A and B are shown apart, each in its own frame.
Chain A
């Protein structure tokens, strides 16, 4: 056996079974989902095997004219999901960015402790972390309880089952995703450039906008993408904190599969979520290959 055949054999042993597994159970399902999104929904659930592009039309409001009239409800849900996901990204960034500066200046020991404390929630149960916010935000929740007791309000505020509640919940669970990439670029920041800028007479605002912001931008972009992707298609947070109405794409997809039983339409919606993710990922990878290294968040 010469060296090359042996190498090939080793490589095949290492990657063969895995490739087969991913081809069948990862690429296969995605392919079938894509096919389903172009099929017609059957009357009693299930699918009809002929080409039917109206699932995608329906998202935009232009559905099969034989059945439906123009109805922009789905595009409204899509835009609303985008808005909520974008707000989540902005708030998460505002929460994490300043803290990253402070933590990057701590001593080695405290830095490590802080990073441990920030990553730790990522490992705790997601549903438990959301449950905590239900207890805080609901009508008889702790925040209302405290506000009533101190006399600041005389009627409980409606905080849960609002978009605000969804955003708070998402910010809470996505903090580690944003913090790690942002921190990585803040930590690498060359402070001598900041000092040079100040010595040359630039004010704090200008120094921030011209030096600090551009240098930490890779982390900001990376963190934003990593938060935006799971926020857009999220269905647990709106289901727990967002009340009964269909709030976001994730709930709409769930509904198509578990109650409406319109799998082709659900698949088309999932294709939409997936394409947004692929487009963002493409930009992320391109930016990363341009020299800025962003590590995976908290993993």
Chain B
């Protein structure tokens, strides 16, 4: 019996190792092969090079033209700029709305509160494609020109949900006795809010904002439907590259994106862990 149990434990431990291998080996491989010099068979190693990165970043390289996509670094940079502009705007709006909603739902009792909470969760749970086409029909029938503006509005609908959840979690863990103490000591409501509530709430707000930012940068489906013809974001750019055939440049872009999101995510999780203590 004991033997069976220890065998069982080893199998379970081995399985868990495999689990992490499954999650991380592909990401690790793409990093390694982004330095592969082979321009045709991307997964056949033929020597180390950093030229793909140089190419993507706009430096002069010796790579022959048929191993490259036609569009230049300019279009990639334009896509990055669009993505950043959209992500910064949506983050600002979604953080404001999401935090306001969390405060309202946490502090006040009002008629239909349960239903309102459902309404705040729904945009996040709605399948991307449904929200995407609903917004497309809406904007087109309202005669609104599709572009950066419609992307910002469209993304905000579901990003508010994410901020709401993160800030609500923070509010639920907060100590209200400090507020009462502040009031007892003569601070008015605004002062209590600014000096007592806000500092405690800040990690939640920053965490929510970072989450909104990263999801906005990554959103493909909803953006794809409401971007119109002349705006491309970074995920859309890669998606269209992939649809036309795989070339090593995507590797380099992908690895840089991975690095970027790992940095932002680590920041976010750091703020979340501060939330718990």
Q: Is the CB of A32 within 8 A of B134?
A: yes
Q: How far is the CA of A257 from the CA of B4 in the complex (A)?
A: 57
Chain A residues with CB under 8 A of B27: 121, 124, 129, 132
Number of interface residues of B (CB under 8 A): 81
Q: How far is the CA of A134 from the CA of B238 in the complex (A)?
A: 13
Chain A: CB-nearest residue to B12: A102
Q: How far is the CA of A30 from the CA of B138 in the complex (A)?
A: 8
Q: Does A93 contact B (CB under 8 A)?
A: no
- 1/0 per residue, CB under 8 A from A, across B2-42: the answer is 00100010001101100110111011011001000000011
Tell me how far the C-beta of A142 lies from the nearest C-beta in chain B, rounded to whole angstroms: 4
Chain B: CB-nearest residue to A27: B119
B interface list, Cβ under 8 A from A? 4, 8, 12-13, 15-16, 19-20, 22-24, 26-27, 29-30, 33, 41-44, 97, 100-101, 103-104, 108, 110, 116, 118-120, 122-123, 125-131, 133-138, 141, 153-154, 156-157, 160, 162, 165-166, 211, 214, 217-218, 220-221, 225, 235, 238-239, 242-243, 246, 250-251, 254, 257-258, 261-262, 264-266, 268-269, 273
Q: Is the CB of A125 within 8 A of B261?
A: yes
Q: How far is the CA of A207 from the CA of B240 in the complex (A)?
A: 51
Q: Is the CB of B157 within 8 A of A135?
A: no
Chain A: CB-nearest residue to B43: A142
A interface list, Cβ under 8 A from B? 7, 10-11, 13-15, 17-18, 21-22, 25-30, 32-33, 36, 95-96, 98-99, 101-103, 112, 114, 116-121, 123-129, 131-136, 138, 140-142, 145, 172, 175, 204, 229-230, 232-236, 239-240, 250, 253-254, 257, 263, 266-267, 270, 273-274, 277, 281, 285, 296, 299
Chain A: CB-nearest residue to B138: A29
Consensus secondary structure, chain B interface: helix
Q: Is the CB of B254 within 8 A of A131?
A: yes
Q: Is the CB of A14 within 8 A of B100?
A: yes
Q: Is the CB of B156 within 8 A of A25?
A: yes
In the complex, 25 of the A-B residue pairs with CB atoms within 8 angstroms, ordered by the A residue number, are A15-B101, A15-B116, A21-B156, A22-B119, A32-B134, A36-B137, A95-B22, A98-B12, A98-B15, A98-B19, A102-B13, A117-B23, A124-B27, A124-B262, A127-B220, A129-B26, A132-B26, A135-B30, A135-B42, A140-B44, A172-B23, A204-B4, A234-B129, A235-B221, A299-B162
Q: How far is the CA of A277 from the CA of B128 in the complex (A)?
A: 12
Q: Is the CB of A25 within 8 A of B100?
A: no
Chain B residues with CB under 8 A of A36: 137
Chain A: CB-nearest residue to B31: A132
Tell me how far the C-beta of B225 lies from the nearest C-beta in chain A, rounded to whole angstroms: 7
Chain A: CB-nearest residue to B127: A233
Tell me how far the C-beta of A21 lies from the nearest C-beta in chain B, rounded to whole angstroms: 7
